[in-house]
A and B are shown apart, each in its own frame.
Chain A
Amino acid sequence: MNPKEEKVKIITEEFIENDEDAGVGRQKKTPKVARQKRKKRLPTTGPEEMVSENPHFNQQEPVQEDSDTRPLSMTSRRGPRSLPPIPSASRTGFAEFSMRERMREKLQAARSKAESTLLQEIPTPRPRRLQSPSEKELETEFGTEADEEVQRTQKEDDSQSYSRVKFCDSVRKIKPKPPVPPGFPSAEEAYNFFTFNFDPEPEESEEKPKAKNRDGTNQEEEEGEEEEPPVQEHKMDEEELLSAKDDEDFLLGLDHAAEDFVVVRPADYESVHVRLQMEKELLFVPSRLTVPTYKKLPENVQPRFLEDEGLYAGARPEVPRACQNIMENRLLTQEPGRKWFGDDGKILALPNPTKGFPSRPPVLTQEQDIKAELETLYKKAVKYVHRSQHMIGSGDPSGNFQLDIDISGLIFTHHPCFSREHVLAAKLAQLYDQHLARQQRNKAKFLTDKLQALRNAVQTELNPAKPHKSLDTTQKAINEYKSEIRQTRKLRDAEQEKDRTLLKTIIKVWKEMKSLREFQRFTNTPLKLVLRKEKVDQKTDEEAYEAEIQAEISELLEELMEEYERKMEGYRAAYQQWKAWKKAQRAKKKKKKQEHPDEEMEEPYPGEEPVKPVPPEPTDRALVEQQVRERAARSRRRPGEPTLVPELSLAGSVTPNEQCPRAEVLRREDVKRRSIYLKVIFNDKEVSRTDSRPLGADFRVHFGQIFNLQIFNWPESLMLQVYETIGHSGTTLLAEVFLPIPETTIVTGRAPIEEVEFSSNQHVTLDHEGVGSGVPFSFEADGSNQLILMTSGKVSNGVAWAIGENGIPLIPPLSQQNIGFRSALKRADAISSIGTSGLTDLKKLAKWAAESKLDPNDPNNAPLMQLISVATSGESYVPDFFRLEQLQQEFNFVSDEELNRSKRFRLLCLRSQEVPEFRNYKQIPAYDREIMEKVFQDYEKRLRDRNVIETKDHIDTHRAIVAKYLQQVRESVINRFLIAKHHFLLSDLIVEEEVPNISILGLSLFKLAEQKRPLRPRRKGRKKVTAQNLSDGDIKVLVNIIRAYDIPVRKPTASKFQQPSRSSRTFSEKRAASPTAHSPTHSADYPLGQVLVRPFVEVSFQRTICHTTTAEGPNPSWNEELELPFRAPNGDYSTTSLQSVRDDVFINIFDEVLNDVLEDDHERGRGIHTHIERHWLGSVKIPFSTIYFQAKIDGTFKIDIPPVLLGYSKERNLMIERSFDSVRSLSEGSYITLFITIEPQLVPGESVREKFDSQEDEKLLQATEKFQTECALKFPHRQCLTTVTDISGKTVFVTRYLKPLNPPRELLDACPSSPQATAELLDYFLFKQELVARYVSLIPFLPDTVSFAGICDMWSTSDQFLDLLAGDEEEHAVLLCNYFLSLGKKAWLMMGSAIPEGPTAYVLTREQSHYLIWNPCTGHFYGQFDTFCPLKSVGCLIGPDNIWFNIQRYDSPLRINFDVTKPKLWKSFFSRSLPYPGLSSVQPEELIYQRTDKAAAAELQDRIEKILKEKIMDWRPRHLTRWNRYCTSALRHFLPVLERSQGEDIEDDHRAELLKQLGDYRFSGFPLHMPYSELKPLTEAVYSTGVHNIDVPNVEFALAVYIHPYPKNVLSVWIYVASLIRNR
């Protein structure tokens, strides 16, 4: 077999197989048959028969057959091969055709072909063929199956294995025609086709390789078979035939054989070895062995290694050795093999195979346009606007400020790598610098000139040219001059001396250096000192010198003369004294001598006898002159001596490395390895750093970088850190250099370059010439005269403020300077963002490289050089911009405008952005046309209105602003929450039991033993429902109304009102008298058993109304459950949405009044016609949010009863009996017991786990955490509050909120001057407190949870609170507490829980003997022991300087002791271990109250009245609503009175008044009082009273509104509604 044939075979294989299979089937051969055939020795059809025959055939004609079969096999193979064009031409188009079909077709084609060949075979002579007669015989017998079979087997047995495969192909093709119906395979065929097992035979695989071996290698390993020579022979034939390519002829020659050898054969199989062998023929596999170098190089060329020659070759890329060898081998066999090899016999390789620049094929079309598209647009960076900048009032003009820091370089004055010479050089340089500096200032000259001038002045003064001046002044001036002269002269002398010594030192150091250079025989520094001599004119010089000396001498003499004079004077005086004394002595002596001569002996020298003064010596001119000359010689240039001017130059040459000793070379290398960089530290934060630059041999580093720091605040510190890197090892901080913050006048361009010195205390010892740092060394050989030098140096830098575009320097306002921590707390934004630009410019780099003459062959520089080569090579266009998503343009399938025009797309976008209006938009329509335009209206309106303050909705402008502001804050907070919502914690996703501690574990163990179904089941908590899978109608609010106390009772209409007018009473009187004022008179009026009141309760929520049955009496008991459906806004039941529900549950108590409507008495007998009227008595309002967060509300509430209820009064006699007298006055009112819950129970939203940043001290924060965990451990349910979040989202320690703050002056002015009596004084204080509390309660209440969806309690300071005019309990409580503190009360903020608010803040004050609890939101106060106090538990007390946590056993205010000084009862935050650090307050110094505009209030009042009237008419769509003007005006007059008295105790006068005016009306009405926030609550409140529900035909209404303005826009709104029915 030659390779060609093999190839042919491979190609035709597919067809052969198909045909073969079909053939097998068609001939109805059993698998067994086929197998036997293949196995050759075995009989085919009948085993026994065949066995007997086999030997016979075997021996018959092996050789001939073989020779025959070969060509036949070839033809058969050839046949199919030539076939394909015919069928395939028609077939290839039908891709869909199934395999089966294809096969069938192929089969047919093959068959027809075979037929034709057979037909053709007959006439053609067989060219060269040996055939046995028996075969021919058999041929003729062809026809019956049986014969066929026999013959086939015979044939098969004859033909030995060698040609099996090819043979059978052809045979099969020829054979099968007759039995098979055309077109379809028979059942058996099909079966065979699918089940036939084409096992390859072992023999075959054995034989094939042999044959191959024979063919391929021509080895003699024959198996003793006779086939061998024929095969060879036929091969020749085949080759001939193949070259002829004449199938027809070929087949014709084979015709006979076809019938003879009908053999079915299995699929061709080539063993792996055979295939490999064949592949070997076809494929070239290069060797893996190393190619010897000589092959790769041209003859007689020695490999040349560039690296050895000292050239830089670069690192070759890593390629495995084997790959390289393969490549080399392959290249060598190729034609121009050697050109791929370099001089060194290796394959040519670039150091870096990647191209350094992009090589995208240039876009030919519209290059300009595309470039334009890709061009970067410059957009100025937008500053992040901090949320708190919405803050009203605090217009913080913070902007972008810029500080330019220019770091030009660094010089070491000492460095460990300094050699001795360097040390000297540094010294010399330093001295020289000093010298230059001195020279520049030239102090000596200046002083000399001054001296001269002074002398001249003295001369002129002495001249009597100015006679007008008094002698005195002249003399004085001269004296001054003279002293000045003396001073100056001394200074000058000192200066001159210094100059001289400096010069001397310079020369000395230079000499030392020279000697050192000589000694060590090399030079390290290029320093060279030249002393230039300046010739002077000897004579003039001498003259000047002499004159100078003379002048000095004369001056000195003069001076000395003066001195002498003075001394002389003294002497004279002393002498006189002495003389007098002497004289007196003498006289005494005389006298004594005359009187008591003996006495002389007793006291010869009494006291100190004055010594005789010595006269001062006159000055000696010669002496003075000598001194002066000496000094001059010392400090001054001698006359005639040339002036020496030292000049330091760098002209000297440094000894090259080769000529230096080893230690020095080492030192130089060490220096080379070092590099320096600087970090710029701004406010202790690294903001940028310079490039790392190598340390030069002269120990200078040049940076030349300018950093622009964008800053927000006045810088606190500016520092440079010097870092040194040694080789590749670590980096060490050498020193820190503090830079002064520039003056505001220094702006860029005007800033001088300054040198700032630094030094380091590092100790370095080096093992080479370097002297090290911090270690002693010496210049002397004997080591004496040791010197210790520290690393030091100078940084030259310039710091200046940048100048903005419009020429304004970007300097923070000076007000920001020197602000410490305190104000920093208040400031909204302390974050300063700093931008740096550290991009390297390639072009510059290249320039630098060119300048610095980098060695391009240095391996160290290789990457750099390559980079530069890329950058500088002009051939490639490297764009200087970079773009993300550069293919975006291509992927835009429509233009942006078009996309934006699509309403649907817009809707989808907005929804995915979670814009509130669209967040829950369901089923966005599929087409634009189905989207209503109005969908966007609200949203667009909101966008439009964002900055426009509209005053239509909000009646007064201030509130509109506030509302806007709140809206903005809310939006920003919501945005923050939306972001936070997407951060998940494990606990958000996975419910996992906590690791139990021992007790829980024990308990659960106990539980295991517990019965599964206990007999007495315990109550289990209701299952909580996550709100998301709820829909409308699923949630209900259950209100259980149990009972009420002290409902006002009707007053008999007949009763008279004789009460005197109380308006004249003083406050104290009123207080004392009020509780018991009515009871005796009124209780007497009621006949026993009369129905006092028939109350029922109506609950309204979201405009759904339910009511209870009617009960009787002032203490009714209903015990009824009402169910109200709840609808979430927009059908959105997500937690955030539920949290922001602002609806209230109104619980109104009405009195049901039956009125007989029958007018004439004679009808009365026949039926009862009554008309039910209901009169509103009072209400309780509970916000839904409270219910939502509390899950249930259970308790007794005070009913909000209007101050005046016409026709009703409170029956108070029961109260008197029941309650304590002392607290009686405090607990008056009606109460109702309620239980409210939501079914199913909803999971309240979780609080936001955002850890807010804080400006508190870290220690304090830690202490708060510790305190809180300790408290939570002891009493987990008690509220403990230490830190709160302020409005800008920062954590603030809570006591900072408490500070005495002034209440509005007008408020206090309103109450009369303080009375004298102590009892009255107390009342006076209480009254003041009440006033203040009332003011605070008038500020509208807005829970944080509503404004900030997600529970995030934000505390605003009192001024913010008053600005916003909205806040929740904390803000009210803080303000009230601060007012109380300023009133001089002891007051605390009390954190606890109350009904219905839940966790809340109250205010506790201490009176003389008892404590009062104030509800800041209502202004009510309660005694400590008041059972109706809504506060149910106390967690902690907060004072201005401490926090006390309640560690008593009970937390109910009734049962605890409020004495915070007892550490056993109250755990205080600040104690002896942690003293109060004196935290400053976040509150303002003082509250400023603006007077509210009265006119605006009046206008608002009218508008509200008008709107409310319209509303009432709207609510009565079917009835005529008449307004009784007379009544309205009467009511309008009452309201101010009510406000003045704060709604107390005017009822009776009021009623009398009304009666007088409207005598013939049945009247029911009441005033409502609320703080004003918006209009909606007002209408809601009016609606809830149900006044409009009266449908008596002749009813009339009256409505009056009064607004009382309090300072700071706090408005108290009174609404008086009444209905009137005319009595007939």
Chain B
Amino acid sequence: MAAAGPSVFLLMVNGQVESAQFPEYDDLYCKYCFVYGQDWAPTALPLASVSRVDGGAGAEEGPWTVTRTEERRQHGDKGLEEGISQITSKSQDVRRALVWNFPIDVTFKSTNPYGWPQIVLSVYGPDVFGNDVVRGYGAVHVPFSPGRHKRTVPMFVPESTSKLQKFTSWFMGRRPEYTDPKVVAQGEGREVTRVRSQGFVTLLFNVVTKDMRKLGYDTGPPDTQGASGPSPPQGLPP
């Protein structure tokens, strides 16, 4: 197959959920997951390589290795396809930022750019009564072009259907939530909901693609092309 040219292209995404701005809330944690089309599949290091890496640590770490591989197996060998972060409190400085620095590391393979992966974020935090309630949903496409990208995702939450509902949901600590956070990555059915903006989450992506060009998809920005192309030497004037 290698001779015949690639049949899939790879998209490797790593980066992190850096921080968030939620002016009204504190002590938040965040979850993320990826939503991608049918032609996409997450891939990761083969199991063998994992065990080799872990196995080198020595006999003492044998059980640990097992658990790691077990974990891997349970995650379906898909890298960090979804994750849940630690709880973070606001910084004390003026920025009042909520920093997670929560890593993202996933590799996809695909045959078709249709259904390009989106990362779906949902942020949760305690309310007055200590119930975990949702503080924001947001989604953004993984950047198309290779390189380092920073994305600021506006977050929103669904609104209650009535004032009374709003009160009771506040009181009971059961705010309206999406049945599935992945809803925010698709357009269907959104017309029945009302949402309110909440804050921002900043994400950092490092994107590497492989074989996109070979399959005929050109996603690079013009200047990166220029970097590889011939450029006139910057001769100094006498």
Residues of B within 8 A of A925 (CB): 7, 111
Say yes or no: A986 contacts B180, CB within 8 Å: no
Query: At the interface, yes or no: A1264 with Cβ under 8 Å from chain B?
Result: no
Identify the stretch in A992-1000, A1190-1198, A1227-1235 within 8 Å (CB) of chain B at 4 or more residues. Answer: A992-1000
Q: Which residues of A contact B178 (CB under 8 A)?
A: 989-991
Give the CA-CA distance A990 to B191 in the complex, in Å: 12
Check A995 against B164 for contact (C-beta < 8 Å): yes
Could you give, for residues 165-186 of chain B, a 1 whenever the CB lies within 8 Å of some chain A CB and a 0 otherwise?
Answer: 1001100101011111001000
Are A991 and B177 in contact, CB atoms less than 8 angstroms apart?
yes
Decide: B189 and A183 in contact? CB cutoff 8 A: no
Q: B193 in the interface, Cβ–Cβ < 8 Å?
A: yes
Across the interface, do B8 and A926 meet the contact criterion of CB distance under 8 Å?
Answer: yes
- Most chain B CB neighbours (cut-off 10 Å) among A925, A930, A989: A989
Complex Cα–Cα for A985 and B193 (A): 9
Task: State in angstroms the CA–CA spacing of A1406 and B43 once bound together.
Answer: 66
Judge whether A926 and B215 touch: CB under 8 Å.
yes
Counting from the closest, the 3 A-B pairs by CB-CB distance are A984-B189, A992-B176, A926-B111
Given A96-B232, A930-B7, A989-B183, also A995-B168 (CB < 8 A): yes
Interface positions of B (Cβ within 8 A of A): 7-9, 38-41, 76, 110-112, 114, 129, 158, 160-162, 164-165, 168-169, 172, 174, 176-180, 183, 188-193, 215, 231-232, 234, 236-238
7 A-B pairs in the complex with CB atoms less than 8 angstroms apart: A923-B39, A924-B112, A930-B7, A989-B192, A989-B193, A1001-B168, A1008-B129
CA–CA, A27 and B17, complex, Å: 51
Question: In the complex the two chains form, is B237's CB within 8 Å of A992's CB?
Answer: no
When C-beta atoms are compared, the residue in chain A nearest to B165 turns out to be: A995
Question: Which of B174, B188, B231, B232 is the one whose CB lies under 8 Å from A984?
Answer: B188
- Given that A105-B237, A922-B39 are known contacts, is A990 also in contact with B7, CB under 8 Å in the complex? no
Contacts of B215 in A (CB 8 A): 926
In the bound assembly, the distance between CA atoms of A908 and B192 in angstroms comes to 29
Assembly CA distance A183 to B234 (angstroms):
14
Residue A760 lies at the interface, judged by CB distance under 8 Å to chain B:
no
Chain A residues within 8 Å of B192, by CB: 984-986, 988-989
**Minimum Cβ distance to chain A for residue B71 (Å):** 16
Chain B residues with Cβ below 8 Å from A988 are: 179, 189, 192
Task: Give A1031's nearest chain B residue, CB to CB.
Answer: B76
Residues in B neighbouring A990, C-beta threshold 8 A: 158, 176-179, 193
Instruction: Point out the residues of chain B lying under 8 angstroms from A927, CB to CB.
Output: 7
> CB within 8 A of A1004: which of B41, B161, B172, B179?
B172
Interface of B is mostly: loop
Which residues of chain A are near B236, meaning CB under 8 Å?
183
A183 & B7 in contact (Cβ 8 Å cutoff): no
Bound state CA distance, A908 and B38, in angstroms? 10
Q: How many residues of A contact B (CB 8 A)?
A: 37
B41 touches A922 (CB 8 A): yes
Nearest CB of chain B from residue A482's CB, rounded to whole Å: 91
Is residue A1026 within 8 Å, beta carbon to beta carbon, of the partner chain? yes
Chain B nearest Cβ from A984, distance in angstroms: 3
- Is B110 within 8 A of A996, CB to CB? no
Contacts A921-B38, A924-B112, A982-B188; A993 near B172 (Cβ below 8 A):
yes
A-B contacts besides A104-B237, A183-B237, 8 pairs, CB < 8 Å? A923-B110, A925-B7, A926-B8, A926-B9, A986-B161, A991-B178, A992-B158, A992-B174
- Given A183-B236, A988-B189, A992-B176: A923 and B38 within 8 A (CB)? yes
Question: Do A101 and B177 touch (CB < 8 A)?
Answer: no
In Å, the complex CA distance between A1031 and B236 comes to 63
Contact partner of B38 (CB less than 8 A), chosen from A920, A926, A984, A991, is A920
- Report the Cα distance A926→B212, complex, angstroms: 11
A991 touches B8 (CB 8 A): no
Question: Who on chain A is nearest to B114 by CB?
Answer: A908
Q: Does A911 belong to the interface (CB within 8 Å)?
A: yes
Q: Is A317 an interface residue (CB 8 A)?
A: no
Kindly identify which residue among B9, B41, B172, B183 contacts A996, using a CB–CB cutoff of 8 Å. B172
Bound together, the chains give a CA A1028 to CA B33 distance in angstroms of 14
Q: Which of chain B's residues have a CB closer than 8 A to the CB of A986?
A: 161, 192-193
Closest Cβ of chain A to B115, distance in Å, is 10
Q: What residue in chain A is nearest B176 (Cβ atoms)?
A: A992
On chain B, the residues within 8 Å of A923 by CB distance are 8, 38-41, 110-111
A108 interface residue (CB < 8 Å to B): yes
Our pick among B129, B174, B232 for the contact of A993 (Cβ within 8 Å) is B174
User: How far apart are the CA atoms of A989 and B191 in the complex, in Å?
Assistant: 10
* B7 & A101 in contact (Cβ 8 Å cutoff): no
Residue of A nearest to B236 (CB): A183
Question: From residue B112, how far is it (CB to closest CB) to chain A in Å?
Answer: 6
A residues within 8 A CB of B162?
995
A182 at the interface (CB under 8 A from B): yes
Residues of A with C-beta under 8 A to B129:
1008
A94: contacting residue among B8, B114, B172, B232, CB under 8 A: B232
Q: A1031 vs B78: C-alpha distance in the bound complex, in angstroms? A: 13
Chain B residue contacts of A1031, Cβ below 8 A: 76
Q: 8 Å CB contacts to B: which residues of A987-1041?
A: 988-993, 995-996, 1001, 1004, 1008, 1026, 1028, 1031
Q: Which of A104, A182, A991 has the most CB of B within 10 A?
A: A991
Identify which of residues 911-934 in chain A touch chain B, using a CB-to-CB cut-off of 8 Å: 911, 920-927, 930
User: Contact between A924 and B234 (Cβ–Cβ < 8 Å)?
Assistant: no
Determine the distance from Cα of A804 to Cα of B12 in the docked complex, in whole angstroms. Answer: 66
Please give, as numbers and ranges, the residues of chain A lying within 8 Å of B176 by CB-CB distance: 990-993
Q: Which of A182, A911, A990, A993 has the most CB of B within 10 A?
A: A990
For B160, what are the chain A residues with a Cβ–Cβ distance below 8 Å?
Answer: 992
Q: Of the candidates A94, A911, A926, which one forms a contact with B7 in the assembled complex, judged by CB atoms under 8 Å apart?
A: A926
Contacts of A1008 on B, CB cut-off 8 Å? Answer: 129
Cβ A183 vs Cβ B238 within 8 A: yes
Specify which chain A residues have a CB less than 8 angstroms from the CB of B231 in the assembled complex: 96
Contacts of A993 in B (CB 8 A): 165, 168-169, 172, 174, 176
Q: Are A989 and B190 in contact, with the CB atoms below 8 A?
A: yes
Chain B residue at minimal CB-CB distance from A101: B234
Contact of A108 among B164, B172, B237 (CB under 8 A): B237
Q: Render A179-203 as a binary contact track against B, CB cut-off 8 A, 1 for contact.
A: 0001100000000000000000000
Contacts of B168 in A (CB 8 A): 993, 995-996, 1001
Q: If the complex has contacts A923-B39, A991-B179, are A182 and B238 also in contact, measured as CB distance less than 8 A?
A: yes
| Chain A nearest Cβ from B1, distance in angstroms | 9
Could you tell me which residues of chain A, from 40 to 98, have a CB within 8 Å of some CB in chain B? 94, 96
- A966-998 CB mask vs B (1 if < 8 Å, else 0) is 000000000000000010111011111101100
Contacts of A930 in B (CB 8 A): 7
Tell me how far the C-beta of B68 lies from the nearest C-beta in chain A, rounded to whole angstroms: 20
**Which chain B residue lies CB-closest to A996?**
B168
Bound-state Cα–Cα, A1026 to B41, Å: 20
Residues on B with C-beta less than 8 A from A992 are 158, 160-161, 165, 169, 174, 176-177
Please give the distance in Å from B196's CB to the nearest CB on chain A.
13
> Would you call A924 and B190 a contact (CB within 8 A)?
no
In the assembly, what is the distance between CA of A1431 and CA of B164, in Å?
Answer: 43
Chain B residues, CB < 8 A from A984: 188-189, 191-192
For the complex, give the distance between the alpha carbons of A904 and B150 in Å.
35
Q: Which of A105, A108, A1026 contacts B180 (CB 8 A)?
A: A1026
The listed residue with most A CB atoms (<10 A of its CB), out of B111, B158, B193, B236, is B111
Closest-CB distance, B225 to chain A (whole angstroms): 13
Chain A residue, CB-CB nearest to B5: A927
Alpha-carbon distance between A984 and B192 when the two chains are bound, in angstroms: 7
Q: Which residues of A contact B169 (CB under 8 A)?
A: 992-993
Q: Which residue of B lies closest to A1008 (CB)?
A: B129
With the chains together, A922 CA to B109 CA distance in Å? 12
How distant is B91 from chain A, measured CB to nearest CB, in Å?
30
Distance in angstroms from A979 CB to nearest chain B CB is 13
Hey, which chain A residues are within 8 Å of B237, CB to CB? Answer: 104-105, 108, 183
The CA-CA distance from A1008 to B183 in the complex, in Å, is: 32
Cβ distance B127 to chain A, nearest Cβ, rounded Å? 13
How far in angstroms is the closest Cβ of chain B from A1113?
43
Q: Chain B residues near A982: list those with CB within 8 A.
A: 188-189
